[in-house]
Each structure stands twice: as structure tokens, then as C-alpha cells.
Structure 1
Amino acid sequence: MATNPLTVLVVGATGSIGRLVVAEAIARGHTVRALVRDRTKGAQSLPTDAELVTGDVTQAETLPDAVAGADAIVLTLGSFGTGSSSPKAVDYAGVRNVLTALTPSGSTRPRVVLMTSIGATTRSSSYGHLLEWKRRSERLVRASGLTYTIVRPGWFDMNEPDEHQPVFLQGDRRRSGGPADGTVARTDIARVLVAALTAPEAANRTFELVAEQGAAPSDLDPLFAALDQDPPGSLDAVHDEANMPLDDEPQQIRDDLEAVRAQTAA
């Protein structure tokens, strides 16, 4: 159980990872606020202990009430296609909209845990621009100045039954675009995301998460502590390849970074 229970907003709460995060956070003693677009669907798929708040990450005006008073925010967004569910609209702009919904200086500054993907720094990919939008969402979180942890999991639930020993990697060098990059169970991803909420050792760290043969440890803090922190003020993670120059980014992306900095400035 958490020694310092938090009020945790889970964004992407009805997704395959988000639902597990909600359950894990409740089991750890946190008060969980689940962002849902449809309260009926949310009530059917989420534990009754979760507080449901209605909002849509693609509609910024629906988010201020959801983020108000949250001690921490876990973002497990995943897009499904094009248009209103494109990587740009959900994986990227959804994160931007949540961050810019936060009340500026003087109020609660929530800790942020963002789930993206292994291979996020790959510039050529069979996923089109999906990974680039996820990487841009990471940059928004780092630019916010909030305490954060960014987790880049490998392929979901393609691990063997006895592979639950988490391995934290940095530098994002596994880029095959397939399960050879690493696999991990959804339940283990959720456990790491929730553990990062309260572990001082997880602060301002970005890492890839895969699993190897072995049981899940009872304490993840030593794994967090072994990681290098991201450089203060950097938009990219420590050890990441510098292959996405900010000067080459569209003006709107640069404007979004400045808007997030201004909104969350202390």
C-alpha cells in the first residue's frame, strides 16, 4: 500500500493498459479519478472504487475539471487510426491538452507518468508518423517542468508465461519494429507506471521497459535508481539519438512547447 496516497487522474482509463493502471492504483491505496468519454462504458469496464470524470482529450475545454486537484496524472493514450483518433490528435495533442488544462503557478503541480513506446526515437518506421507523435508528446512533458517519468514499453503480452522480470533500458536502440525489440505483459506495465508515481528514484527518468525470464520483484525502486536522469531542460531523454532537431519541427509544434512551458511554469 502507498505510504502517501495520491489523487491520481488516469487518462486513457478504459484502454487495455489504462484499466489495469486504475485497478493497480486502487489496490495501492490511491484515490483514482478515471477520465472517460462515456460514463456508461466507464462504469461497465472500471472498478466501482474509481471516480469517473467525463472528458475527451481531443476537446481541451472538457479537461480543466478533470485535472483540478490531481496529485498525479498517468497518461496511457493510444490512437486507433485517422481523424479524431489519429496519432497527432490523441497521442500528441491529447497530452498537450491535458498539460495546458493545468492551472498555472501557485496550484498543485501534479507528477506525470507518460506511457509511449519502445522505438519512439525511430525516424523511419512501418508505423508511419505514430512514433514521431509519441516522441513529441514526451517533449511536451519534459518542457512542462513538472516531475515526470516516461515509460516506453515493448510489445504487449507477447512475453512467455515465466517472463515477468522487468528490464529498464535507456537510449532506445532497439528498432526492429517487432517483438525482437522486447516484450512485456500489460499487467507488468501497469505495475511500473503506478510504482513510478511515488518512487523518488523514478523522477525525471525516461526508459524502455521489457521483460526477461524471472518473477516480478516486490520492489522496483532499485531499478529506477539505476537509471540516469534526463538532462535538466532537455527536450529529449538521456542517451537518445539527437535525430529530431527542434529547428526542423513545424512552427505549431514549437508553439505548443512554449504554451506548455508558460502554462505550467512555477
Structure 2
Amino acid sequence: MVVASAAPCKVFITGAGGRTGRQVLQKLRSRPEEFQAQGLVRRKEQTDELGGEGLVVGDISNPDSYAKFLRSADKLVILTSAVPKMKERKDPAGPPEFYYEEGGMPEEVDWLGQKHQIDLAKEAGLQQVVLVSSMGGTDPNNRLNSIGNGNILVWKRKSEQYLTDSGMPYTIVHPGGLIDREGGKRELLVGKDDKLTSTGYRTVPRADVAEVVVQALVHKEALNKGLDLVSKPEGEGNPTTDFAALFNQTQAGL
């Protein structure tokens, strides 16, 4: 069921300058009768890259830099995430090593930064928080946790649990490996607790993740659910178009 609205829904997107965040912003802007989008970016030059209008420069570690904009929204989409950097290789034949920049550790970004956003959303009485996280969080030994000694999935999972415990209406999306391919061409699969990994399907286009986020904002079937998300290869199965049915394939809860 699509949630009807007389006036455009005001959506605040954090992480709007990222590769997935940009696509969410673009999709919302393409539907002005339904949405009024505003995005948080980290650097001034990103406002020019993204068209300027409706963009706020701020830092999630400093809630005062964006709080008034978040409070004026109806719904919040969280797309912020710590991003590891590759160290310069001393041995070209050796394995790559990674690190997180100062202030950009997963504990700071994926836990404390997201906690600030959830707290502000709750205080402001927002209608929904859509959090884009990652698959793999049920396994503390997942290899992603070893990157830069950041335990990124551990902190993401902590934030997810905080959101579900907050009492806020929520949707949590756990994408598989993100790929840069055209959206709308694949059959999407949803599941729980990383069980989709046993299907052999492990990736999903960013564009399809962005579409699922937008659809979660308008379908009641997405409320108070966490869902893992992957896709079949293009040409295998039928492209997903019925998102209410997709959301109905998962039960409530993280």
C-alpha cells in the first residue's frame, strides 16, 4: 500500500554526497509532486556537483551543523558510512592494507554519528528513519570487520539495534556487495540474518538500493522491518516492479 500525502514529503538525506546517496537524491528530485529532498554533504564543492539546491554542508560528528534541517523534515534517510582508505604499498606483491582517516573510524561514523541522527529524529518526531547498512552484520568474524581494525559491521549493527529500540518507525536495508550497474533490470531478493548468502547471490546495483530506499518511504509494508537485499544477474528472473510484494516477503524486526 502506498502512503498517500497531500503535500510533498520532506526528506532529509545524510551522506547525500556518496555514490548511493547521490542516486537517492536524484530519484527524490525526479518526483517533486511526492518529495521535497534536502541532503547533507561534507564538502562545499559537493553542493556544486549536485546542483546546489537543497544541500547542506555539515558533519555528522557535529549535530549542530545540520540539526535544524533534520528537525524540519518529515523523514530521514541515513546513508552515512565510514570509508576505509588504502595505504601506500611498501611491497607491491603484498596484500593491501587499509586505514580510516582521523575522525572517520566506524565507531565515530557508523555508531556515534548515526546515534546522533536517530536521537534528533526522535526528538523532532519524524515519521520514519530509513537506514542503509550492510549485509554481514550477524557474523562478528566477517572479514569486513578486520579492515583497518575498524569492526565496521559491529558498529553498524549496534546502530541498527539502537534504531529498532528507539520506538521510531524505521526501515533498515542491508545491501550485499554494491555494484555500479543500471537499476531496474534485475530481480531483487530480500531476506533476513544474512541467509541470502547461501543462495550464491551476493551483489546488488547501487541504483536498485536507491530505488528500494525511495519505495520504502511510500510503502507501509516497509515499516518496522530490516531486510537483506541482493539481486539476480541481469537476464535471470524478472525485474522487480512490485515493491509492496517485495517488502511483504520479510517479517517485522531487525
Alpha-carbon shift at residue 109 of structure 1 (Å): 2.2
Q: TM-score, normalised by structure 2?
A: 0.80
State yes or no: 1:119 paired with 2:139: no
Name the Cα RMSD after superposition.
2.5
Q: What residue number does 1:39 align with?
A: 44
Find the aligned partners of 2:36 and 2:184 in 1 and give their Cα distance.
Answer: 32
Q: 1:195 aligns with which of 193, 215, 220?
A: 215
Q: What residue number does 2:170 align with?
A: 148
Amino acid at match of 1:110: Q
Q: TM-score, normalised by structure 1?
A: 0.77
Tell me whether 151-160 or 9-18 shows the greater mean CA deviation: 151-160
Q: What residue number does 2:248 align with?
A: 225
Q: What residue number does 1:80 align with?
A: 83
Structure 1: runs of 5+ lacking an equivalent = 231-236, 238-266
Find the aligned partners of 1:24 and 1:33 in 2 and give their Cα distance.
Answer: 12
State yes or no: 1:186 paired with 2:206: yes
Give the 3 Å change call, closer, same or farther, for CA 160–186 of structure 1 in structure 2: closer
Find the aligned partners of 2:155 and 2:183 in 1 and give their Cα distance.
Answer: 32
Equivalent pair of 1:119/1:174 in contact (CA under 8 Å): no
Q: What residue number does 2:56 align with?
A: 53
- Alignment deviations for residues 161-199 of structure 1 (CA, whole Å, 9 cap, x no partner): 9961111111223569xx955111110000001100111
Q: What residue number does 1:89 align with?
A: 108
Query: Secondary structure, in 3 states, of the residue corresponding to 1:141?
Result: helix
**Identity over aligned residues, as a percent?**
29
Query: Secondary structure, in 3 states, of the residue corresponding to 1:142?
Result: helix
- Alignment deviations for residues 92-145 of structure 1 (CA, whole Å, 9 cap, x no partner): 1111111223463xx542311001111111110222211101101101211221
Structure 2: runs of 5+ lacking an equivalent = 85-99, 146-150
Q: 1:63 aligns with which of 52, 62, 66?
A: 66
Amino acid at match of 2:165: A
Find the aligned partners of 2:220 and 2:183 in 1 and give their Cα distance.
Answer: 30
Give the 3 Å change call, closer, same or farther, for CA 158–66 of structure 1 in structure 2: closer
